[in-house]
Structure 1
Amino acid sequence: MPTAVTHQAIPTTVTEANLAEVNRLLEQCEPQEILRWARAAFGNGLYQETAFGPSGNVITDMAGAEGLNIPVIFVDTLHHFRETLDLAARSQQRYGYTLHVYRPEGCSTEAEFAAKHGPELWKRDEVSYDYLVKVEPIRRAYRDLGVTAVITGRRRSQKGDRASIPILEIEPGTGLRKLNPLALWSFSRIWAYLRANEIPYNPLLDQGYKSIGDYHSTLPTPPDGDERSGRWSGSAKSECGLHKDYFAMRAAFLARKKAVA
């Protein structure tokens, strides 16, 4: 859609009271204009959070083309596909942004994680696995880096819990701002942008994957399935924990920990 407003016309102080109006204005902007607004609104507290999926790669390219110098946070769960780790290195080399890599606390390899928490924890205790490899590392990153706003690649066309996400959210309880500049884009539009701009992308996309997470819980997307239907096949799960209620996730993890103590 044509940009109807410029980022200068959107309030840079966002509260619960004006959030709906800010979102109304942001929906009239192209993603590049949204990113320019976010840089002005959140300054050095703004980071991109990505696992180098298609949407994240588009955002990284847009931010680079605009000269916005937005640092990137990557949570290495220690269970990523090798292709994902290779892409992370290629992306950082191409765009030159500051890359902050966070891993499960006290672990630097999958073997160390298994030795500390037991083999295949995702099968035995999915709640604890998600908390340990994703939720705890990203929250540690937020604290260490002074993050006040994060850019994500979530889109409504991904369905599930994302089907109605706004462009900007305020996380209850923490006040963290979550920006979804591609919320209105379809996968086909993402793919067209990737190809047109020759952006590095995960080669698994060429093998039928549309959404790529940990190797043990990611399959090629069924031809008739939603974009994320290759994730956690056979379960009702649609989010890994990064974008679920943090306090609920932490409470559930602590309850599990207490039960086995």
Structure 2
Amino acid sequence: MGSSPVYALEHDGGPEYESGYASGTSSEADLADIYFTKPHLAFLNRQLQNLEPQEILRWCITTLPNLYQETAFGLTGLTTLDMLSKMKIPRPQMVDLLFFDTLHHFPETYKLIDRIRERYPLVALHIFKPAGADTAEEFARQHGEKLWETNDQLYDWLAKVEPAQRAYKELQVGAVLTGRRRSQGGQRGDIPVIEVDEAGLVKVNPFANWSFKQVNDYIKDNNVPYNELLDRGYKSVGDWHSTKPVKEGEDERAGRWQGQQKTECGIHNPRSKFAQFLKEQELKKQQEALRQALDSVDDSESVGHGIAS
């Protein structure tokens, strides 16, 4: 397999990698295919800011290699998919879909996926699940019941972040389209149209300027299949255990993780956050192994003293 495109920000003193992709080697495989200087990235955002989503999508298709669309089949993702389907893009340039199946989506979401396959048969869908599990029951046997309550960061890592990173590596993903919009509030309130994450992955938010009403109107006007839950008061749909309907006047994503201090599932959080989390998890394992070893030594000594006496 060829090397994945690596994107980086560059400043006057050389490339500024947000991820540590720069290993210090000089082999061709380690060199980034595209560099965005900070002024260039700022310029692109100023230009793209004034374009309609269809124009931004065309720019992405002609500019960004190894481009995929990440989606959980929310309204914005469905709008993206429908717009792309109407651009008459040759198959080699079509944008494949990436869906991270946490195994805890609503039945309505899985039903929608079947309808999407029928409506857009030419679009390839890549589904990535938590490692070593194909069902919610298998996931629970491996990691315990209701992991999202006992350790929500570990749940995010296992169900979302790790599958995403595995997908990027296996598919050689260089850039992704997301469904994030500023009108969704929270951490999304000031997102740019185009950004580069810590590992050099380009993320494009073609609908950053659109409102919920705009995407909802598009879905209705173009008869795009959508999640039945949206007709029951839901505006943003994720896992069944952390998604509720929203009340009149509430933010669009107010129904996600109610009562918790979080607004993102992990995929759009800094990767360094999860690197630190993994280090902490590993340290806990080591400390537990040491404790068990010391307990075992203490038990052996107790037995030895008993025999001696």
Q: Deviations over 1:160-215 (max 9, x none)?
A: 0000000000112x111000000000001111000000000000000000000000
In the alignment, the residues of structure 2 paired with residue 48 and residue 185 of structure 1 have an alpha-carbon distance, to the nearest angstrom, of 18
Instruction: Report the equivalent of 1:39.
Output: 61
In the alignment, the residues of structure 2 paired with residue 14 and residue 87 of structure 1 have an alpha-carbon distance, to the nearest angstrom, of 37
Give 1:253 deviation, angstroms.
3.2
| Counterpart amino acid of residue 156 in structure 2 | D
Runs in 1 of length 4+ with deviation above 6 angstroms? none
**Secondary structure in structure 2 of the residue aligned to 1:140:** helix
Give 1:249 deviation, angstroms.
1.4
In the alignment, the residues of structure 1 paired with residue 39 and residue 169 of structure 2 have an alpha-carbon distance, to the nearest angstrom, of 26
Instruction: Report the equivalent of 1:19.
Output: 41
Provide the TM-score with structure 2 as the length reference: 0.78
Query: In angstroms, what is the RMSD of aligned CA positions?
Result: 1.3
Asked if structure 2 preserves the Cα contact closer than 8 Å seen for 1:48 and 1:71, the reply is: yes
2:128 is aligned, of 93, 96, 102, to 102
Number of residue pairs the alignment of both structures matches: 248
Over 3 Å counting, the alpha-carbon distance change for 1:257 and 1:222 in structure 2 is farther
Asked if structure 2 preserves the Cα contact closer than 8 Å seen for 1:14 and 1:22, the reply is: no
| Counterpart amino acid of residue 129 in structure 2 | R
1:135 is aligned, of 161, 185, 205, to 161
State how 1:67-216 maps to structure 2 within 5 Å: 67-68=88-89, 69-96=94-121, 97-172=123-198, 174-216=199-241
Q: Deviations over 1:123-151 (max 9, x none)?
A: 10001000000000001000000101000
In the alignment, the residues of structure 1 paired with residue 282 and residue 140 of structure 2 have an alpha-carbon distance, to the nearest angstrom, of 16
2:250 is aligned, of 225, 228, 234, to 225
**Secondary structure in structure 2 of the residue aligned to 1:169:** strand
- What residue ranges of structure 2 are gaps of 5+ in the alignment? 1-33, 289-309
| Counterpart amino acid of residue 21 in structure 1 | F
In the alignment, the residues of structure 2 paired with residue 126 and residue 191 of structure 1 have an alpha-carbon distance, to the nearest angstrom, of 31
Matched, 1:247 2:272: yes
- What residue ranges of structure 1 are gaps of 5+ in the alignment? 1-11
| Counterpart amino acid of residue 85 in structure 2 | G
Give 1:257 deviation, angstroms.
4.3
**Secondary structure in structure 2 of the residue aligned to 1:178:** strand
Q: Deviations over 1:74-107 (max 9, x none)?
A: 0000000011111112112211201000000010
Over 3 Å counting, the alpha-carbon distance change for 1:197 and 1:207 in structure 2 is same
Q: Comparing 217-226 with 124-133, which one deviates more in the overlay?
A: 217-226
Question: Which of structures 1 and 2 has the bigger CA Rg?
Answer: 2
Over 3 Å counting, the alpha-carbon distance change for 1:257 and 1:80 in structure 2 is farther
In the alignment, the residues of structure 1 paired with residue 251 and residue 281 of structure 2 have an alpha-carbon distance, to the nearest angstrom, of 32
**Secondary structure in structure 2 of the residue aligned to 1:48:** strand
| Counterpart amino acid of residue 63 in structure 2 | A
In the alignment, the residues of structure 2 paired with residue 48 and residue 245 of structure 1 have an alpha-carbon distance, to the nearest angstrom, of 19
Give 1:222 deviation, angstroms.
1.6
Give 1:225 deviation, angstroms.
1.1
Provide the TM-score with structure 1 as the length reference: 0.92
